[in-house]
Amino acid sequence: MICTRCGAANEGGYRFCAECGAPLPQGDATVTGGVSGSGVPGPVPAAPAVPPVPGPSGASVPPRPSVPMPGAPVPEPASAPLPASVNPADAAATTMLPPVGPGGALPGGDAGSGDGGAQTVAKKNRLPLILAIVVAVLVVVGGIVAFLTYRSEVWGGKTLPDPASVATTVTDAKGKKKASVVKAKDVTEALKAKGLKTKTVPVFSGSDKGVFLGYSGAKQGDRVDAGSTVVVQESAGPGVPKDTVGKNVNKVVDLFAQMGVPIHYKQVVISSDSKTPEGQVSTTYPAPGVGLTDDEMENGIYIGVASKGDGIPVDVMGMDKDKAVSELESQGYDVELEPHYSSKQYVGKISGSYPAPGSSLSSGDSVTLYYGVDKSSNMDLLTKTTGSGDYAMDVVNSNATPMIGMYCKSEVKDASKDCITLEEADGPYGDSAGGGFMQIKGHEPSNDFDALGLNNFSQGTDGVMVSTKGTGGYMKESDLAMANHLLLGKTGAFELYAGMGLPNCGDTVMTANLGEYCRSGSYGRVSNPNDLPSGKNSGETFNMKDFLVYVPVGADVKSLEDSGYFDSKALESAKKQKAVDTSRPFIVMRDPSLYSETKVSADDTSYLKNPFVPTNDKGTNHLVGMKPAPSDSTVYYLVEQNGDLDWDSLPDAKVKQTSTKQDSSDDSGKSSKTDKTLAEAMKAGAAEYGMGSGAGAWGASLTINVDGTFKGSYYDTNMGDTGDDHPNGSRDESSYTGRFKSAKKNGDGTYTLQCDAGAFKIDGKVGTSRIEDGVQVNTVKPVGMDPCGEFTLYPKGYDTSKLSDDQLMFSGGAASTVANSSELPGPALYNTESSDMEYTFFDLGN
């Protein structure tokens, strides 16, 4: 078939020209040598289109002419003479034109009308080659496009960024590039920019808090599906992984060697018939899943390794309480049982002890064993009966013992923020049995009325009654002042809160004391009511203070949630999170940052209108909805093994050595420098100290050793405080031991010492009493050494004029040798955290 555009010959059946690609005519017409429209004759073929058929005698037989197809021009005989007007030369010239396909156009655009004898030009078929080239080009172009779009992450998922690349793209607020250390939050920002979801998990390490450690289950450069969640590992600083306890100690040595802090391996006691294998990690400090706080970095991490010996065995946890008492008493220990809220597994069994499980003891030492209780013990622990007969009434019993301890979030990123410790505190009425009121460690109140308690302020028993018993039937349950407190409800939860519902005047709690007043928010008090300034109180406010909801095991959390106690939006948010673990006691702590209003005017209004504590204002409770609502991520769970041992008194445990040489004692430069300063300070401070004002009724003694340990005692006698069982008076006393864990030398030659609160131990239980020779002996906190916090050590020769008169008073009075010397004849120790007095110990030998 002849192409009508370029004249190339094509095989039959082709639809397009193999030479130029033009469409081919579909039909059977032939092009003859007829004359064009201009009168020029078509080319004359040099040979017949069909070869002659040989005859019998060898002569050629002319071919049979083909039958013209319908619509095709009928060819004229090949022997027809040329028109006279056409000369042979012109005719010959026409034979040089390219052939024309059937029905095709001659060069110049005229239709051919020649006969079927036109010569077919044979050309090589190039279609496969062209198609191959086209396909190859398309493949190459497609590959390039695919590569570029894949690389730009249009398809095929998203690439996890290299931390180094993130560091070069993240800048600070001033537009400057950040340091080469990449923060986890920078990586999450980069991932979110790619359209990926992120989840950050804390991992304990020797890196600074917040540093990016890697991806969980993936590595940089990996591609993940678009929209998927990437788990980013963030350093939580040094700490103890959750799965540490129960492992052989030699399997965790390498891990802890990378924490970058001192690691101490200590022997903790297990019983001789214990099923716990020796060499197993049995307890730690901090507790598993908890990191070191900033002020604990220098002291480091303690790992308790199970070893058989004498003392309170680690495996006392979970033991039947009667069996535990029997075993310890058989070893010569004085044992006392106390109830404590516990997880479900320890209810009715031993859930802890003081000293802590694993502690070494000597025969005759006192031990307190705590056994687990749940919400069914609420009224037994937190209420009591006062009076007798018809006047017996059930009232609140402030009792801190069942709740004291450490509580942490399910995921601890920063122990200073994600953990709280409830401890005993002095309340507005002094110490009471069981410790009475509480406080959050590190958040000690400046006013005793801001300690944590169970009820609002009341000058009579009517404000703390928990039943109508003793009222003669004249009061209904709904009339009780505490009717709207959770303690009297059926859910099993109860509130612990500060302030007792009282208003504030500035930072001072208004306690209805005689002579106190508030004018424009300024507090004042006069001894003579006649001296009160004119006018009425103004500027008083109700302030949002520490407020906790305590939920023991067995409490009906759903009923509590359904009661409307929690803010509706907070509850809606909590229900979208992981549900709270009700097999463990937990605390919901009010978060003031979630409220738009944390202070309201208390002028000209009743205390019953306070919106930040539960009240009963003629049946109405004005308490604001609690935020947050309980979920696994919002509550604080009780930590039942928090490693509260006297670690430094325990013998070292033998563990395998590591390439970093970090075993039971750290030899890093920072620690060595700290130890050197502490040793220098203790050399200057080792002495026998005393403290007193010159009056013989009270005094304190203290011995500091060169290794930083100390022991001391305090007494205060009151012969006028008598009773039927103590006709000879009373005596407050305290004996204690402890140690200083760090020291910093100051420019003036003094040292700032840090007392190790974890190692500070008071003999006996604070708040308890006993009768000795007709004297009531009360165990109290030691004046001068409580709190065990920051101290200043003044070296021998220090200028006494730089000491205050209050400090010098404790050297034995104004007539003492120290008070009348220009320089200290010996060292002196000042408790900088004393709240009310500048308690200072002085060297007794001078």
| Residues 238-284 pLDDT 10s | 999 999 999 999 999 999 998 989 999 999 999 888 888 999 999 99
Q: What is the mean pLDDT of residues 421-435?
A: 70
CA distance 146 to 135: 16
Q: Where are the domains of the chain?
A: 1-121, 158-235, 249-373+641-647, 378-639, 669-843
Q: What is the mean pLDDT of residues 143-157?
A: 59
Does residue 499 contact residue 614 with C-beta atoms inside 8 Å? no
pLDDT digits (tens, 9 = 90+) for 315-348: 899 999 999 999 999 989 999 999 999 999 999 9
Give DSSP secondary structure letters for 249-309. GGGTHHHHHTSSS-EEEEEEEE-TT-SSPTTBEEEEESPTT-BPPGGGTTT-EEEEEEEE-
CA distance 615 to 484: 6
DSSP 524: E
Integer-rounded Cα Rg, in Å, for the chain is 48
CA distance 17 to 7: 9
Q: Is the confidence at residue 429, as pLDDT, over 90? A: no
Does residue 693 contact residue 810 with C-beta atoms inside 8 Å? yes
CA distance 732 to 698: 9
Name residue, tokens 């919400």.
375
Q: What is the mean pLDDT of residues 50-70?
A: 43
Q: Which is more confident, 65 or 542?
A: 542
Q: Which is more confident, 122 or 193?
A: 193
Nearest 5°: the CA angle 405, 295, 635 is 40
pLDDT of res. 488: 96
What amino acid occupies position 813? G
pLDDT digits (tens, 9 = 90+) for 630-682: 999 999 999 997 777 888 878 899 888 765 444 444 443 444 444 678 889 99
CA distance 360 to 650: 7
Range with the lowest mean pLDDT among 99-108, 122-131, 716-725, 798-807? 99-108
Share of the chain above pLDDT 70, in %: 79
pTM: 0.62
CA distance 300 to 264: 7
Task: State the first-to-last Cα distance of the chain, in angstroms, to the nearest integer.
Answer: 130
Strands (E), 746-804: 751-755, 761-762, 769-772, 775-779, 790-794
Range with the lowest mean pLDDT among 207-216, 292-301, 429-438, 773-782? 429-438
**CATH topology identical between 158-235 and 249-373+641-647:** yes
pLDDT of res. 157: 59
pLDDT digits (tens, 9 = 90+) for 598-639: 999 999 999 999 999 999 999 999 999 999 999 999 999 999
Nearest to 650 by CA among 359, 277, 391: 359
Torsions phi, psi for 770 (to 5 deg): -150, 160
CA distance 423 to 444: 10
Q: What is the mean pLDDT of residues 510-532?
A: 91
What's the gap between Cα 419 and its chain centre? 10
Q: What is the mean pLDDT of residues 413-417?
A: 85
* Domain range 249-373+641-647, CATH class: alpha beta
pLDDT of res. 672: 42
DSSP 81: P
- Token pair recorded at residue 11: 């095989």
Backbone CA torsion sign across 830, 783, 340, 382: negative
Q: Is the confidence at residue 37, as pLDDT, over 60? A: no
CA distance 668 to 833: 30
Average pLDDT, the chain: 81
CATH 3.40.30.10 fits 158-235, yes or no: no
Is 90 in a helix, a strand, or coil? helix
Name residue, tokens 């009240």.
615
Q: Please, which pLDDT band fits residue 457 given cuts at 50, 70 and 90?
A: very high
Q: Is the confidence at residue 67, as pLDDT, over 50? A: no
pLDDT of res. 364: 85
- Token pair recorded at residue 566: 């929690």
pLDDT of res. 113: 44
Q: Is the confidence at residue 217, as pLDDT, over 90? A: no
pLDDT of res. 49: 42
Q: What is the mean pLDDT of residues 509-527?
A: 92
Is 400 in a helix, a strand, or coil? coil
Range with the lowest mean pLDDT among 93-107, 242-256, 407-421? 93-107
Q: How far is CA 350 from CA 225, 261, 345, 555, in A?
A: 50, 33, 10, 21
